[in-house]
Amino acid sequence: MRHIAAAILLPLSFWPLAAPAGELANGGKQTAAWKVFAECRMVTLPQKAAISLIEEFGEPEKVNDAWDRLERMLESGAATLEADLTVQGAEEKPLVSECVEEMKYPTEYNPPPLPHLSLAAAPEALKMWPPLIGASPTAFETRNVGERIEFKARVLEDGAWVAISVEAIHSRLREQAKFDFAELPGGEKLAIRQPQFSVLKSKSSFRLRNGEKILLGVHKLAKPEKTFELFVLQVKASRAGEIP
């Protein structure tokens, strides 16, 4: 199993935008290129508190208060920070940050071996046969479990607005489920275990003000009960060389 934590640039056509890195202004002089910074927090919290925050994030004049209240909940332990993913880079470049584990699990099996018996003797002989049998895996798949954000932005109106395309994903290993695949003559059942995954995903494209914070996604978890996970995003843009 390999652990990956990175913020990288990928040559993807995640959101096609075509504009030069710098713009000609001030009598033909080329201005500094824009760079963008984005932070996505994935936070779990009780249903009652989540509903209250969702309402506050939905009112523009209360967004900063909601962000501050969420930070206080994290500090007090009333909410749990599942992930805090950040990306930073040039505008119009695909940015990716992820923190995942590669999980390998079997998908195909050889059937369990059976003794060579005559048809007449088979039922009674199988009852006495030691049940030390099983299915051997013959094929495997690999899946990433963890958090990931893909982000792309274009700065508009001299930095007043930022148009973004973003996808945030949080995948979990929920459980190892048991599946029966055979039954011995004595009634004993043979089983294999297969991983069951939970995937939360929010994907969107929109414009927001430079420095604005938004509620990107709301997800209700199956377990623990009455628990929500919120994806909260803030985006900043600045000229290259400035501190965002």
The full DSSP string for 43-93 is EEEEHHHHHHHHHHHTSGGGHHHHHHHHHHHHHHTSSEEEEEEEEEEETTS
- At residue 243 the predicted structure's pLDDT band, cuts being 50, 70 and 90, is low
Q: Which residues pair with 105 in a beta bridge?
A: 141
Distances 77 to 5, 218, 223 between C-alpha atoms, Å: 25, 20, 18
Number of Cβ within a 10 Å radius of residue 22: 14
Closest CA to 70 of 61, 57, 83, 58: 57
- Quick one: pLDDT at residue 14? 41
Write the pLDDT tens digit of every residue in 116-154.
Answer: 555 555 566 656 555 555 677 888 999 999 999 999 999
pLDDT band at 13 (very low <50, low <70, confident <90, very high): very low
- The answer to whether 40 touches 205, Cβ cutoff 8 Å, is no
DSSP string, 97-110: EEEEEEEEEEEEEE
Taken in order 197, 11, 149, 217, is the CA torsion positive or negative?
negative
Model confidence at 187, pLDDT cuts 50, 70, 90, reads confident
26's tokens: 């001030």
Using the predicted structure, report yes or no on whether residue 160 has a pLDDT greater than 90: yes
Tens-digit pLDDT profile for residues 67-97:
999 999 999 999 999 999 999 999 999 999 9
Percent of the chain with pLDDT over 70: 75
Residue type at 1 in one-letter notation: M
Task: Give pLDDT, residue 120.
Answer: 53
* ∠ CA 242-31-11, rounded to 5°: 80
Over 60: is that where the pLDDT of 213 sits?
yes
Q: What is the pLDDT of residue 114?
A: 61
How would you class 206 by CB atoms within 10 Å of its CB: exposed for 0-12, middle for 13-18, buried for 19 or more? exposed
CA distance 68 to 148: 24
Prediction pTM value: 0.76
Mean pLDDT value of segment 22-47 = 78
Give the integer Cα–Cα distance in Å for 144 and 137: 20
> What confidence score (pLDDT) does residue 17 get?
44
- For residue 15, what pLDDT is reported? 44
pLDDT score at 4 = 40
197 and 141 in contact (C-beta within 8 Å)?
no
